[in-house]
Structures are given as C-alpha cells and as structure tokens.
Structure 1
Amino acid sequence: MNTIEQKLQILDYTFNSYIKTASFENNIQQPLTEKQFDIYRSIDKQLNYISSFGPNQTTAEFVSVKGNWVINKYGLRPLEKSQRDFVTSEYLTLPNSSTWVKEETAQDEIKLIKLAPLFKTNKNGVLIINIPMVSLTNLIYKQAESNPIYIYNKDGTLIYQSNKEVKKSKSTKDVFNEISKDNSQTGIKEMNTVDGKYKFAYSKSPYNGWVYYTEINKADIATAMKPTIISIFIMSLSMLILTCIIAYLCSDYFSRPLRDLLMFFPKGQKGVYKDEFELIGQSFRKVIDHNQLLNDIVTSQAEKLKTLFMLNLFRGRISEMEVKEKLQDFKYPTNWCHFFVLTIQIDGLDQSKYTKKDEDVLLFAINKIVSEMVSSEERLTPTVIDSNVQATILLCPDIDSNQWIPTINQHAESIQNRVKDEFNLSISIGISSPYQKLTECHQALEQGMDALKYRLKVGKGSIVFYDSIAAIYNNKIRTFFPKKLENQLFDVIKKGDNEKSIEILHLLLLELFNSKNPHELEVNIMRFINDLMGLMQILGMETIILEDHKTLYGAISKMRTSEEIELFVKNKIMSPMIQTIKERTNSQYKTISDEIVHIIQKEFDTDLTLEKIAMRLHYNPNYLSSIFKKEFNQSFSEYLALYRYNMAKKWLLETNLPVKEIAEKLQYKNSQNFIRSFRKYEGTTPGKFREQHRFDSISF
C-alpha cells in the first residue's frame, strides 16, 4: 500500500499545485487554437512533466468545457460533442473536486478526475490522469504472485487484482463487508467457508479510502513460523544459560559494588574516613550537590528558551504545529479558550530620578513584577520586546471572553500600583482584543501597541482596551489640520516673540490632539514638524542635531505624552529658532549673506537679480555669489527659486489667485515656464497640487 500510494499521492499533490496556479485558471477560461502554440506547448510540457512523478506510462488529459478544447497525448483538438456530453454528465457531476474512478469501459486503467477551478463552485474544466493497471503491477512485490493482492475502493468495488489467474475463495462483497466491520486500519481476519477456514490480511488507506488485502496461505504461515519456533528455542536456551550465570554471580553481588566504587576514589582518602561506607556516603552527597547545580543551570536555560519562544511568537515566526509542541515542552497551561496580550510602556523618565539608560533595566524589573503578580496558570512567560515594551499573554478559561475583562483590569491596576510604589513611575497599559490562536500573537501585540498610542489622548497612567477604541481606528473620516494657527505661529517666530509663540504653540497642539484617531494624530504631528523644518530652511538656519544623532522625526515618534511633545518642540526647536532670529535682528544683518536673504524675503516678487543687489550693497556680483554659496551651500538663483517655489505653494493653498497671476507675481515671463518649474520641484502641476492639498489647508 505504501509503495503504491507514495506514487499516487505525489502525483495527486503535484497536479493540485499546478491547477492552483493563476496561469492554469486563465488558460482554462479561454479558447485555444493553433495560433496559441506557445500556450499549448507549455501546458503539454507541464502535463508530461507532472505525469512523470506517477507510475510508469501515466498520462494526463486537460479538457476545457468552456474553451471547447482538449489536450492529450494526441495533441490539441477541438472538443467533440460526444466528448463534451460525456465529460459534462460523468465528470462535472462528481460530488468531489478530486475523485478516483474505474470505468467499466476501461478495465485496464484507473483514473484520477480533478475538476477545475479547484476552489470555485462553477467547474468548467477537467484534468484526467490515466494510470495503467500494469504500472501498479510493477510496483507490487514479486512474492505477492502466489498470494495475489486485491484493492477495493471505499464503495466495495474491486479495482485491482495482482494475479488474475488466481481465483478468489470468497466474493468481493463478503470480504469487503467483513473488513468494514472492523475499525482497525490494519489486521488479519478469519472467515469460515465451505472449503474450510479462510484467512486474509488487510490494510485501509487513510489517503483515498482504498482497502488492500491478500489471502494467507497455510503453507506460507507454516514457513513463516519456522524461524519463530527456532528463535523461541534459542531464546529459551539463552535465558537458561543467563539464569545460571546470574545464580553464580549472586554470591558476589553485595561486595562487588563496593569494590567497584572504591576503585574510583583516590587511595589517600580512605584513611581519612572510618570505613568505606562513610567515604561512599560523602561522595554521593557531593554528587547530589553537583546535580543540583546542574539542575539550576538547566532551569536557567529553560527560562531563556521560553523567552526566545515568546519573542518568536510575538513576531509571527512560529507555525501552529511548533506552537503545540512548545506548549507541551514548556508545560504551559492548555485549558484556556481565549487570550489577551497586555502591553506595558513607561510613560516617561523626565521627572524621575532615572535616565534613558535605565529604561531597559526598569522594563525587566516590571517584567519580573508581572511574573510575580499574575499566576503561571493565567499567563505565558512575560517578555520584554525591543527594549521598549513589556508584553504578556493572559489566558482566559471562559468561553465568553467578556467575563474575563474585569479580572484583566484588576491585574492591570495592581501592576500599575506596584510599579508606582516601588519605582515611583507612571506606566500605561494597552490590552488587545481576545484571540483564539497563538499564531495570531503578532496581531494582538499590534493592537496592544495601538491601544498604548491612545495614551496621547487620555494622558499618563492609562489602561486602554483596544476593543473600546477600535471604532476610532476604523473611522476613515479625515480630520482638519489647523493651518491658520500654524501660520500665526510661524509669523510670531519670524518676529522673535518667544512668549506669544509659546501661547500659540499650546493652542495649536490642543487642536492637533482633538483628533480622535491616534494614527491621524501622528500624521498631523509629523506634518507640523515637517513644516517647522521647512521654515528653518527658508530662514537659512542649520538643521538641529539631537543627542545620539537622532532625527527630529525619530525623537518625536518615541514620545508618549502630549506634554513631552510640547516641551520638546518648545525647547529643542522653537526656542533655538527664535534665538537665532533675534541674534540676526540685533546684529542688523551683520553678514552680507543675511542682507541678501533679507532682500530676497522682502522683494522676491520683483525683478530681482544678484547684479542689482550688488549695486545696492556696493559689492562685486561674483564676490557676493561666492560668499552666498559658501554660507548657504547653494547659489543665489537656487535660493531665490526655492523661496519663490515655497511662496507659490503658500499662495496656492491659502489664496484663490489664478495660476497665471501667481506666475506674474513671481516674475515668470509666461505661466508655462512657471508650471514647468513647479513640476520640477513638486512632480505635479500647480492646479493639481491645489486640488490635492487645498482640503488639508482648511482649518476650523
């Protein structure tokens, strides 16, 4: 059975893989003619190649009822009406997409019928695999010639007999009924017949339900029993000799172990102890101590393996089969119905005695607290992920997961209070939706992280269930960006008014944090930071460099509260900008480059050239060009074009000026030149840019 079905299963699975491909489904839908020779040749080559995996002389036919063609060993041909009627009535009506068939008109072969497309209700194609009976005969062992092999399908129909010259001593129906009564996969049955007792051995296939059986010849049984009888005799004789040897050695049994043990001890130690028993006892105690040490090492390694398993689980790197094996190996609880992922983050270290370097140690301490406060029957191993988040899988034994929510909330509050008491730290906790499969841990972890992001809305020390905010995340309504407040803030920054800028910044962030969706809040914050950096570029200021070479975007993305973001923007970005502007104002444009920039910002909408500025400042144009290039790492014309481009964007978004009028204000000779220049910077025309972004600029 194994020999035959190995070939059949490989053939079946290989054809399954083929008919699942997109090219197969595409080909079966369309008519083929001699003009599509490449398609025909590809299909024919694939059918011949896959057929080679089956028994010898296996062939395959590909029938497209919709395309009205057939490909077989005779080539590509139109589907005749009789063939079409036969395929439609006999094959397309089969209850299963894959069926083994033996037809009365073709007793010398069996067929595997596959309906296509495989996973669709409407079937319009058939793949027919023909396997000659002679090829099955070649797979049967030679010794089966005296005792023929019979194969029945699950309906009791004889589909194969290895030796047709041997007459069966029982009818097919009686044999099949006798085997069907037994639930065993394999066995030996005995039946009473007119000619005497009749024995046969059988095996049921889990693959296709076929039943294999062969008659047992009495002479063969006697021949097979001879080695057994001889073996029993030899074994009995060996046991007798072994018993005699054991009896002989019993007299020396008690003293020999002591002598063997003493051989392993140094001779000098024997005089230290009263007798050999004390020496052996002390040695055993040392062995026990060493064994305990080894057990401690193994336990430590087991905890590390559990942590590694949890990390791989949270990252979606473990299959369902591996999960079952690891749960059994690590002796985790199995009597649960759902699980939640509880994620913990520290709200901030700015107002505590700890520094950023202590965050990893604090998270591991919190991880230990979770292990102590939640019993091992209610969780899997708590784990620290990416030195940023602590995550724990909480197991829910109830079928109704909502009944477990109060318990989870109680655990979360207890953990918060414990961390507050021991470290004087505020932590926030996010809790995912309930899941049933541990392979979905990475999705539950993402939900826990999304729940933590909502802390930007509700503040520090939050406990947020993802289910309570899922509707907010799924809400696709677009929020407005407070562009007017941003423009007011930028105007105040340009004037160097620090107090007024702090006031407007606070109002602007309040508007941003009114966004209900945390994802949209992140986008709006990043947009605001991007606009701030654009203002810095327009003012000719250097990019701000943070500690550890972090970018502004990276630093903002890791902040967890609105207060933290406001302090960062005020102290790290806005204050340095205002200070720089004040220094420039107080020095009254002490450098020539600043004077040029000041002229550009005031007179960008005039016919401005470096030669005209040189005449006003009484300098050589080449000299001004070189110092401007050295100061700003770009030429005068590039800076002027960029400034006009930014002003063009501002007018497009904030005014209703026509594109032609904007081009004239920016000193373009015609609007087409302006459009080409704008497309070079933005990748789109001014009109399309206004349509795409005008909605963003509307604020309340």
Structure 2
Amino acid sequence: MCFLYGVIINEPYTRTLTMGVMPVSSRKIRSILMIFLISVVGTSLLSLVLYNISTEIIKHQIEQQTRSSLINLSSRVSNLQDRISQSVIDLQNTQEYQLFIKSLPFKDYESSALVILNFVNQLRTMTASLDYVDNITFYNVENGKEYATNGVMNAQFQEFRDEIAKFETLGASQALFDTYNNGSPSVVYIQALPLFQPKPQGYLIFHYNAHFLRGLLQNEQVDSNYLIVNEEHQIVDSYSIDGTPTRSMQLPETLWQHSESTADSNLHSLSAQGNFYILHHPVNQKWSYIYFVKESLALAPIIELRNIVLLSTVILIVFSLVMYALSINLSWRGWNKISELIADSRDMRSKDDFDLLFHKIQGLMQNHNQLEHRMNVILPEAKEAFLRNILEKGCGKQDLVKMKQYNISLGSNPYRCFCVEADDYKALKELYTETDMSRFEYGIICVIREVMGEANISGFVIAENQTRFVGIYELDKKTDDTTLDDGLAKIKSFISEYFPFSVSIGVSQARSDISHIHLSYHEALESLKQKLIAGSNQVIYFNDFTRKETPFSPDVYEIEHDIVRQIREKNREFAYTALDRLIGIKKAENIDYRSLQNYLVNMTLFLFQEFTADHRLISQISISEMVQLATLEEWTEWIRTHCIDSLIDDMIQSERKQYEQISEKLVQHMENHLEQDLRLNEVCKQLGIPLHLANLALKEVHGVTFAEYLLQRRIELSKKWLRETQMSLDEISNFLFYSNAQNFSRAFKKYVGLPPGHYRKQHQTLTEESSV
C-alpha cells in the first residue's frame, strides 16, 4: 500500500495563465524612491556615528598619552619642593644655623661677622646642592634684615618685599610664588624657620633661576604645547612647539568651571576656542598644568576618515541605486511570471494582482490545512504499509532513506522480531463480531506498546491482521535479552488474564544488519509454527528449535535472502556478489554433497516461485541438467545465467510491458479529450492507474511527462486549426483552456518558433504559391 499526495498542475495550462495589463510604473517609481531614501538616511547616520565615535577615540587617545606627561611635570615641581624641605631640615641640624639663631639679633656686627659668614657659607652650600636655585636669602622677622648668598640679586628683586608681604598675609609655613623681574618670569619659594614652630624667627627665601620653568617644559615633551598656570588662572610660563608666544593667550573660563563641576578634578579635558585642552591640577599644589593642541591638527586623522566615509557613501549610494534598479527589474519580471502562474480562467478577473494573489494563497492555505489533516490520518497507515513491505521483502537502500523520512529509528543496535498470534482464531471469528475483533486488535497493540515502554525498549508494533501482530524492538546497552523476555512474558500473561483468549509469541534470533529484517520476521513466523509441538499460550524462541538437523549455518540463509532482495531491485552486480559468497561455505561448512545439492535445487525452485507465476520459465528448468553440475563453481555460474539473469530480464520485460500498457491508456485518453481540461490526478482516477506510475510510464516510453505530451498534442491541434479553419486566436485559446490569446501565443511561439499569426500567414502564402 502506498499513499502519495501532491499538487498536479497542467503545464500547458499554467504556461498560459496570466493577468491583465496593469499600471505598475508608479509602484516601481515609489519603490525606487523609498529605497533611495532609506539608503541616503542610513549612510548619513552611519557617517555621523562614525565621525563622533572616531573623534571621541582620538581625544581619548590624546588624553591618555598626555596624562603621564602632565603628572610628571607636576611631580618635578613637587620633588624640587621636597628636596628644599629636606635641605631646610638638614640646615636646622647644623651648628652654623644653631649658632646663628642664638646670636640673633646681632648687636655688634664685628663680633658677629664670623657667625654670619659661616651661616651664609652654609646657605651657599645648600644653593649648590639644589637644581635651578641661584639665590637663598634669610629674612629676620624681628628687624627685617636679610642675609643672602647673592646680594646683587636681592637688590634686583627689591629684597623680595612684595613676596614677603604676600607670604605673611597667607599665614602659611611655606609657599611658592611666581613673580616678574624686568618682564621675565621668576619663581620664589619661602619657608618659615624654625620648622614646626607657631612663631617664626625668619624666612628662607629660595629664588629659582630663569631656566627653571622652561627646563621643566622642554624636558617633558619637545613636540607639544604646555602651560603652567597659577591659582589666579594666570600663565606662569609656557612652551610652544612652533615658538608662538602663548603667555598672552586667554584661557577659557569654562575650563575652570568644568574642573569645579567634575568629580575627578585632578585631570579633565575640554574643547573650546578651536583648541583641545587637558588640565591637571594636583591636590597639594596651587599651580595647574595644561596641555593644549589645535583641534584641526589633533583631528587630522578623523578628517581624512570623514572624507573616506563620504566617498564610500557616494559609492555605496550609486552601487545601491544600480543594484536596486536591477533587482526591481528582476523582481517585476518574476512577479509577472507569478501573475501568469496564479491566474486562472475559472477565477474572477481582477485588475488588482495583489488581491488575486491573496485569494490564491488563501485557497492554497485551506488546501494545505485539509491536506495536513488528511496526512495526519493517512500517515500512520502509510507507515504501517511500508513496515509490512520491508518485513516481507527486506530492506534495501531506498528503504533506508524512507525509514528516515518516516522517522523509524532502527539499525543502530541489535534487534529482535516477535509475532503475537491469537490462539484458536476460527473460534474467535464465530463468537465475536467485527467490532469486537477491532477492539481486541487495538487493545493488544496498546498492551504491547505499554509493556515495552515501561521496559524502555525502543521499537514499533504493527497489526498484520486482527489476530497477528508483529513487533521489532532494539536491544541497546541498557537493555538485554532478559529485559525483552520478561516483557514478552508479561504481555502473554496480561492478555491471558484480561482478554477472552490466549496468545502465542514467536521470537527470532538477534541481528544487527537492518537489511535482514525480513529474515527475522520469517524466523518469528517459523517459531509460531512450532506451536503444534510446544502448545498454545507459549513464548517460542527460534534458537530453541531451529535447524537442529540441518548442516548449514544461518549465514547461508542470509545469502539466500540477499539474492532475493537484489533480484527484486534488479541489481545484477550485487546479486552476483551475494551468490559468490556461497563459494565460502566449502571451507566454513562440514557438509556432504547430497545436502548441498538438495539445498541448491530447493533454492533455485524457491527463486522462481518467488518472482514469477509464469510456468514457462519453471518448465525450462532441467533437473537432470542441474544434477550434472559437479562443483559449486559450476552451480553458481548456472544460477547466475539461468536464474538471476532470466528473472531480472523477465522482470524488466514485464515492467516495460506494464509501462507500455499504461502509456497507451494515457495517450488514448488524451487524444480523445484534448479539448477538455485534463489533470493528471483526475485522469489517473478515471483510468485506475497509480499516480506515480503514470508519469514514469510516459517518461519511459515517450521520453516526456504528462504535461509535456499534452502540450505537444494541443499545439499540433492548434496548428491544424490555424491551417484549415478561420478560428480566431481567442477561440483557439478558449478551446485549449488557455486564459487568454496572449498566453496561447507565447506557448505557441516557444514550441513552434513563430507566433500563431505568422504561422497562419506563412501557410496561406505557401498554399497560394502551390496553387499558382
């Protein structure tokens, strides 16, 4: 039994299906404009996003690269102050300092000259040990006198009166001041003495030389712009890579406002006035350190990237327009073909192709739902029919593919086959109705499935008839023969207890090759035949009784069934290969020649009885000729030529004859009904021909399908009408079931090479010339 469902479409008919001419230009233009708009917007947004991301990345890279430079710059100033503080501590521990402080105030300069000189010399030693310090002055708070290592410099700076006054105003123990001398920046560091005393006796004033700030800046980065800014946001000193003076430049006030509003005020960046600033304000210093660069210079890579993106955008837009134009053209050409395909003369004529497509798809969906419902009902029956077929005839390569399609998982593990048969079937038929027997059938199948499911044994069970059931179950690593045996015993006991009859179960031996599944089935049937000896209501195992008297191993019988399967598939080479395996039994089997001869004769008769009902072939077998075969090699050669080749040739001839008969019926029906709407599935139903054989027969005999043959005959008929009648193209297309003359003309030109109108004119011209 085989079930096949599909949609059969008459090809000549579908080639002629079309729709009316529609105004589609506006829709094409709208599609192109929409696509173009999406492309422009998308590429513009992409460019903007890339530009912003790249700008932030470059600024972040600059900030990361400059961070260490600014921190190093502030660290140099802090380190110098720390060295000065350490020198001051060392100074306090010297005898010169102690003696100098004790002698204050000096009443007599001449008696104190040596103390002062020793103290000043100590200050000079300190000056020599400190970088960038060129003068140290001690200021006496009590009398305002100063003692300096460089008196000339003291005079130039007016004895640091302004710096001292500012320092006293701060009330701090130390401070760093920036000042100017003759327009040049200078740095002064003041430390109160003695250390850690609330009331100072004097101030140590350290003057940094003019190279201090410039040296710090140049040593840090020679290719960057740096600024040092005091607490009043005034530029103390600066360095520019192009030599441009920057002391007079105006810093943006937002730079400081941003610093106050930022949680991390130690280091932050800002873009303003066409520059990119990075400000570092150390917590323990009053000075700030600024790096700045022109954004046009810093963002040079992003400008180049922006140009590349813009160029890429233009290229992509042009490419998109070209590709969209081509795709739209192809899409509309395809849409026209779809419109022709879905149009149907029996359907309503609509100017709206989308409305027509909607109704067509709606109908297809309804058909699909109906087909799915029918398949859900029929698929189990088809699956059981397929299983019955492989149990009877064996499992070939094509059957393995079908097993995957039917989702039948067998062959990965060893398996065993068993047959469950009701005892005393005739008595059951007399006692119970067909309805009762159907209920028994359903109940036994449920019992088998339930028991096997509880034992975690995978497989399937089918009903061969109302009283015999066949099961194939695998034995994996988790289950063994004992598990299956217990399940079969449970099935037998349950049916005997709850059903009004008992059953006998025949069990085959275990196998691994799925292609020998039919052997397992026949072994299970053979086991049931032993019920005559073993009695009813028993589980009978094939291994307990089989072939105890035969000298052959089961491998010989598997060879026999392999030959049967290959002959059925008309595969000579594989049948020869299976036959050649018989040669090996000479060494593997301890048998006498009479047993082997009887087996070979019986196998030959079995093959002819299995494949042909033609007694002519059987009558051609000469028993005396077979008896004269002296060696196993002669036997295999005789079976190859007189049995395998004869049977396969006979099957091929029978199949060819069947195809010719089916093809003749189909062709005759088409010739008689060319002017009708012919569908292959309907024709097959009328003639009683299987659908899958119809196309196969036409292809085998005539080399064309049903649709192709019907098209050829209709075109030939239309050629006759064009030559011999005055029928219009509309009349011809209607008679041949084309939706309109345009589709008929297209199909005619494709087949003949000329439009029907040119063909009629050409024939009329030839007729007139021949008459003249």
TM-score, normalisation: structure 1: 0.28
Higher relative contact order (CA 8 A, sep 6+): 2
Considering fraction of residues, name the structure with more helix.
2
- The alignment's TM-score, normalised by the length of structure 2, stands at 0.25
Question: For the pair shown, which has the larger CA radius of gyration, 1 or 2?
Answer: 2
